[in-house]
Structure formats: C-alpha cells, structure tokens
Structure 1
Amino acid sequence: MPSWYINHSPNIFSAAEKEQLAKSITNIYVSHGLPAFYVRVHYIEDATGSAFIGGETHDKFAGITINHLARAFKSDESKQRFLSQVDNVLNPVFEPKGMDWEYFITEASRDLWRMNGLVPPPAGSEGEKEWVRVNRAVKY
C-alpha cells in the first residue's frame, strides 16, 4: 500500500487540484498492477507560521513522505523509473506555482501489513487480481 503524506503551505492547492493530483498519483501505481484502493494520498496543510525551512517560514513549500508496503524496488533501474514517474506527476503541478518541494520514499516489510484484518495477496496472484477487479480487500 502506498501512502503519500503531502505537508504543504497554506492555500497552495484547490480542492480540484488535490483531487487531480491524487488521481495522477494513483495512476502511477495502477499502471504497475496495484489495486487503486491501495493508494492513499493525504494533504496536510501547515498552519501559517507553523512550518519552517532553514529557520524561516516558507509560503510555497510541499514536503512529501511516501510509504511503500505493497511492493519493493528490485533494482536501481526500477527506482529511477519510479522517481521519473513521480517527477512527471509533481513537477507540472508545483513548478507553475513557483513552489519548492522535496519527497522521499520509505519501504516497509510487507509481512507487517494487513487490510481489514486480511493478509494482502501476493503480487500478481489470482487473489491480487480479484482485489484489482473489485477494488477492495476481500477474502481470497
């Protein structure tokens, strides 16, 4: 399950921009065979004067934490390909706004993950294909 936490300066994104960005992020994962419902995107708007960079407030910043559980990168090439996909989604949104941003990805052990009390099916398995089809966690 990828979970994205986008901490950002106040009044940077409209509701429509948030929705479109979340859909674009979700599409990255769906294109790799993951069920859409695995993808979580959380927007956390920093209150004015509550976030500092280099000891100063910043009115156009987003810090993004991406947690991966469903899959792990198997090679440096796959890492770079994924980072390019992320850049292709974020850059066109953030650059026109004159924003600064950073992101990082953490990978956690898949065996420490449950959805609705169920162990998610193995990648590419018939169980996962069923989860993709119904777009929710079901017994398999």
Structure 2
Amino acid sequence: MPLWHVYHPPGTYTAQEKQQFADGITGIYTRFGLPKFYVVTLFHEIDATSFYIGGEPRQAAVRIVVAHIARHLDDATARRRTSETLARVVAPHTTERGLYCEFHVDETPRDLWMTDGIAPPPPGSEAEKLWVQENRPVPY
C-alpha cells in the first residue's frame, strides 16, 4: 500500500484538483500491477500559523509524506528513478503552481500490514492478480 499524506494550506486544492492529484498518484502504482485500492491519498489542510519551515511560517508550501508498504526498493538506481517519477507526478500540483514542495518516502515492513484483516498476497502472485481484478481484498 502506498499511503500519501499531502499537507497543504487551506484552499490550495479544489475537490476536482484533489481528484486529479489522487488519480495521478494512483496511476504510478497501477502501472506496476498494484491494485487501485492499495493507493490511499489523504489531504490535510494546515493553517499557516501551524506550518513552519526553518522556524518560519509558510503559506505557499506543500509537504508530502509517503509510506510504501506493498513494495520496497533495495537498488539505489530504482530508488532514484522512483523519486524522480514521484517528483514529476507531484510537480503539476505543486512547484508548477508556484508552491514550495518537499516529499519523502518511508518503507514500512510488509508483514506489519493487513487489509480487512487479511495479509496481502505475495507480489505478483495469482492472489494479488485477483485483488487487482476485483479491486478489493479477497481471502486466498
């Protein structure tokens, strides 16, 4: 599961812009065979009096925290490519709009994750392909 927390000033995104942003994020992962329902995007409005960078309040800034759980990257080249891909998907919603943006990715151990009380199937398995097809967790 990729879990995205997007922290932003109030009014930065309309409902339609949030949908477009979430669709772009989801597309990153479904291209690699993950079920759509694995991808969770949460938008958090943070008032400027509660958003500080370098000890100074910031109004035109977005901070994104991503947790990767379904897949982990051990290779430095793959990690760099992933960061660059994420930056390209984020840019139209942040830097290209004049917003300062920073993101980072944490990798959470896969064995500490369940969906509806079911441990996720092994990557690339027939069970995972069924989860993709059904777009929901299915006992296996």
Is the shorter-chain TM-score for this pair beyond 0.5, marking a shared fold?
yes
Contact 2:68–2:105, Cα closer than 8 Å, also in 1: yes
Deviations 1:6-41 (A, max 9, x none): 111121111111100000000000011100000000
Tell me, what secondary structure is at the counterpart of 1:139? coil
Tell me which amino acid in the other structure corresponds to 1:25. Answer: I
The one-character-per-residue Cα deviations of 1:80-130 (angstroms, maximum 9, x if unpaired) are 111111111111221232110100000011111111111100000000000
Q: Which runs of 5+ in 1 are unaligned?
A: none
Q: What per-residue deviation string (whole Å, max 9, x for no partner) do you get for residues 39-92 of structure 1?
A: 000000002412111222111111110001101003112111111111111112
Match of 1:85 in 2: 85
- SS for the counterpart of 1:49 is helix
> Paired residues, what number?
140
Percent same amino acid among aligned pairs?
39
Q: After TM superposition, which residue ranges in structure 1, 4 or more long, deviate above 2 angstroms? A: none
SS at match of 2:74: coil
Cα distance in 2 between the residues matched to 1:48 and 1:92: 22
Q: Normalising to structure 1: TM-score of the pair?
A: 0.96
Gaps of 5+ in 2: none
TM-score (norm 2): 0.96
